[in-house]
Amino acid sequence: MKLKEYAKEITATFQVPGDDDGAEVTLRLLTPGEEDEAMEAATSVRFKASDEEPETVLDSGRHTRLLFCKRIKSWKNIYDENGKPLPCTDENKLKVAGLVPGFARWVGECYRQLAESHQRKEIELEKNS
């Protein structure tokens, strides 16, 4: 097993459809460890006085936001209200998702395309080895 094959960052850049400024977003495929980290960060344990067993609770909204932010590596041609380039920070990623109709859904669709494309390549490599 060669870890460098697993540690290689897998990315793809997507053009934002219908954007006059030519906005593009680069997504990165998360590793299983990164997905686990997001799950752990969004999970809490609650203790109820009446129950002896603790309850594990997933904050699905927090989990979704964490994954969304981790998946966006960078962007180009996205500008703030004053026409200045908007830095690609987690805060700004969530701001754009909240302001631009369909942006979060589009990012999710692009991420699925990236993941499916990578999976097809992995299957092809297995067949040829």
Give how many domains the chain has, as a whole number: 1
d(CA 25, CA 28): 10
Domain contains 37: yes
DSSP of 105-123, one letter per residue? HHHHHHHHHHHHHHHHHHH
Assigned domain for 92 exists: yes
User: What is the rounded distance in angstroms from the CA atom of residue 115 to the CA atom of residue 58?
Assistant: 24
Confidence grade of residue 93 (pLDDT, cut at 50, 70, 90):
very high
In terms of phi and psi (left: phi > 0; alpha: psi -120 to 50; beta: otherwise), the region of 78 is: beta
Q: What is the pLDDT of residues 17-60, one digit of tens each?
A: 999 999 999 999 999 999 999 999 999 988 877 767 888 899 99
In-domain check, residue 122: no
Does residue 112 lie in a domain region? no
Range of the domain at 30: 10-106
The per-residue pLDDT of the chain, averaged, comes to 91
The verdict on residue 50 lying in a domain is yes
